[in-house]
Amino acid sequence: MIEDSNSAIYGIIGNPLAHSLSPVMHNAAFEALEVDAVYKLFPLKEEELDGFFKDLKDPSSPIFGLNVTVPYKEKVMPFLDALSPFAAKVGAVNTIVIDDKRKLTGHNTDGPGFLCHLQELGVDITDKRIAVLGAGGSARAILTSLCLLPERPESIRIYNRTAQKVEDLIVELGGRMNVDILQAVNVIEDLNIELCDILINTTTVGMQPTDPMLIDHNLLHKDMLVYDIIYNPAKTLLLKEAQTIGANTTNGLGMLFYQGVLALQHWANQEIDVGVKILMRDKLEEESYGH
């Protein structure tokens, strides 16, 4: 799609953004839907957020929808006029809808996106022992989704570099839902990875080629699923080690796809045609795996 002065603008705010595959996916969808819209990267420093959100309120702004990624999924909330019930439960936003009165509504499609991908993989979480690395915006969405499901995992142990954030998160989520299955661990060894069925990495560790493993690879075992929500690189060190051991693995491309489809549906305010969804998935896989 060629951008002109009438084009509606959509995009993603975050920092860093060089890794993002969202433009490829959404621009393919806009083209297939034959809408005059372009999806752009908005790499913002934290001190630029205030001005950016002020400009969004301008009636002449061409921006009608945004995604939000690291590290702003929680930080954007004070700038919004309304939250969907699910985003309010999560306490983090990855999708913003801007209506023609410039009202900003925050949604969270990360949680449902994660669950849709688990369903696609045929993963049943009932009675499973789950270990989670991280307590940021993505972890909030995943933990909220898992706590709200009628199928209950046996336990979800959570470790974060900043341990207090996990304690605070469990208390906060506990005010809005049943969090009996959540357990904070202060040292990574207490995640009991050697006993868990599913390990989910929600941290940014693994995005850089020089990043170390957060966990001891000897704890990985072949009867587990290792889910790394990072999708670029397609195979983090964690996933490589897990594959070597014979574990099931997945990266975050499926979650990215489903959260993107759901975001697009919020912006379009309608269900997206299956043909367009297939095109979005193909574009992502082409960009990520070269086929």
Under the rule (CB under 6 A), what is the footprint of ligand ATR? Answer: 69-71, 73, 134-139, 160-162, 165, 202-205, 214
- Least Å distance between CB 285 and ligand ATR? 22
Sheet containing 37-43, strands listed edge to edge, beginning at the edge strand earlier in sequence: 37-43, 8-14, 63-68, 95-98, 104-107, 82-83
- Least Å distance between CB 132 and ligand ATR? 10
Distance between CA atoms of 89 and 206, rounded to whole angstroms?
28
Taking the least distance from each CB to ligand ATR, the nearer of 108 and 250 is: 108
Tell me the Ramachandran region of residue 202: left when phi exceeds 0, alpha when psi lies from -120 to 50, beta otherwise: alpha
- Least Å distance between CB 161 and ligand ATR? 3
Work out the burial of residue 62: count CB atoms within 10 Å of its CB; fewer than 13 is exposed, 13-18 middle, 19 or more buried: middle
Query: Is 73 designated active site?
Result: yes
Taking the least distance from each CB to ligand ATR, the nearer of 83 and 276 is: 83
Q: For the chain, give percent helix, strand, coil, nearest 5.
A: 40, 20, 40
Closest chain position to ligand ATR (CB)? 136
- Least Å distance between CB 94 and ligand ATR? 8
Distance between CA atoms of 158 and 141, rounded to whole angstroms?
14
Taking the least distance from each CB to ligand ATR, the nearer of 206 and 276 is: 206
Taking the least distance from each CB to ligand ATR, the nearer of 16 and 71 is: 71
Among the listed residues 45, 54, 73, 101, the single catalytic one is 73
Task: List residues with catalytic annotation.
Answer: 73
